[in-house]
């Protein structure tokens, strides 16, 4: 039986199927009301881990979650990310890993989320212009001051994870990963060996067709589930440290996603899926 909970950092127990809030970026009052309703419905359905970031609407996503869910129910963990700043030129963003900048962003996140402490604070990207000991040292100082509880990373390699862990304990890693995109399998295995939570973003491959899609659909039909549920169930079965965070703005899709932890793959079904070719 696949475990349905995980303790991030050894003490933050969450349901392994979480909710990624990235898509909750309304442009109208009507859309905002719908996004608020989806966030609230996620919690009603038992979600205890919600992932957001400063990058998602440059703080607007954090504001929306606070509007929807504050005062937060006991046991709900809202994890956010810092380390990216908006610009008016180029790609529209820049790395921001200097300790002073990270400190400012953490203070901003605390204000927007209406929190005294962020239980899990993740560095959205390592800043190539700032030494890793400086970036992680700044987060360690914020942890020691009580502004954050646990520290996570996003889009890192095994060597970067190792270098970061030499500075401070790392509780989570958030890399792109799904059934058909396993480029970061070595990072997952490193997390598994260390008991670090692995939060795959883009946990369901989009636009899949051909033989791979047919095989996923066949397993779904055998189980009376949907292909999306099968893809998420595979993640849950693949490693005990995987905490998928699928996102949506649709209440129906939300219920579909969260139904995945009741889908139990047989060993033969798991093996068939694992054998599928990966990559584009």
> What is the pLDDT, as a whole number, of residue 64?
98
Per-residue pLDDT band for 280 (boundaries 50, 70, 90) equals low
Residues 174-222: pLDDT tens digits?
Answer: 999 999 999 999 999 999 999 999 999 999 987 776 889 999 999 999 9
Q: Domains of the chain by range and CATH?
A: 13-204+241-246 (3.20.20.100)
Give the active site residues: 56
The model carries a pTM of 0.96
Joined together, the tokens standing for residue 74 give: 């006991």
The whole-angstrom separation of Cα 81 and Cα 108 is 11
User: Which residue, 143, 100, 138, is CA-closest to 119?
Assistant: 143
Tell me the H-state helices in 171-278.
185-194, 210-223, 227-238, 251-258, 267-274
């Amino acid at each position: 039986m696949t475990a349905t909970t995980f303790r991030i950092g050894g003490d933050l127990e969450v349901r392994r199927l979480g909710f990624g809030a990235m898509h909750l970026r309304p442009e109208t009052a009507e859309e905002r009301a719908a996004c608020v309703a989806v966030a609230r419905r996620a919690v009603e359905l038992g979600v205890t881990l919600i992932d957001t970031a400063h990058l998602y609407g440059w703080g607007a996503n954090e504001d929306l979650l606070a509007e929807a869910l504050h005062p937060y129910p006991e046991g709900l963990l809202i994890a956010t990310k810092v380390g990216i700043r908006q610009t008016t030129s180029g790609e529209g963003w820049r790395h921001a890993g200097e300790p002073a900048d990270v400190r400012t962003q953490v203070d901003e996140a605390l204000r927007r989320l209406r929190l005294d402490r962020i239980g899990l604070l993740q560095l959205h990207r390592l800043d190539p212009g700032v030494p890793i000991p400086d970036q992680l040292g700044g987060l360690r100082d914020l942890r020691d001051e009580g502004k954050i509880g646990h520290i996570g990373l996003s889009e890192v390699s095994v060597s970067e994870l190792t270098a970061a862990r030499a500075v401070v304990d790392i509780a989570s890693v958030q890399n792109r990963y799904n059934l058909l995109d396993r480029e970061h399998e070595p990072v997952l295995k490193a997390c598994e060996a260390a008991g670090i939570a692995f939060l795959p973003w883009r946990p369901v491959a989009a636009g899949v067709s051909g033989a791979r899609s047919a095989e996923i659909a066949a397993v779904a039909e055998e189980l009376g589930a949907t292909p999306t549920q099968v893809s998420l169930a595979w993640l849950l079965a693949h490693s005990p440290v995987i905490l998928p965070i699928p996102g949506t703005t649709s209440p129906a899709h939300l219920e579909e996603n969260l139904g995945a932890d009741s889908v139990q793959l047989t060993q033969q079904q798991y093996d068939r899926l694992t054998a599928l070719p990966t990559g584009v």
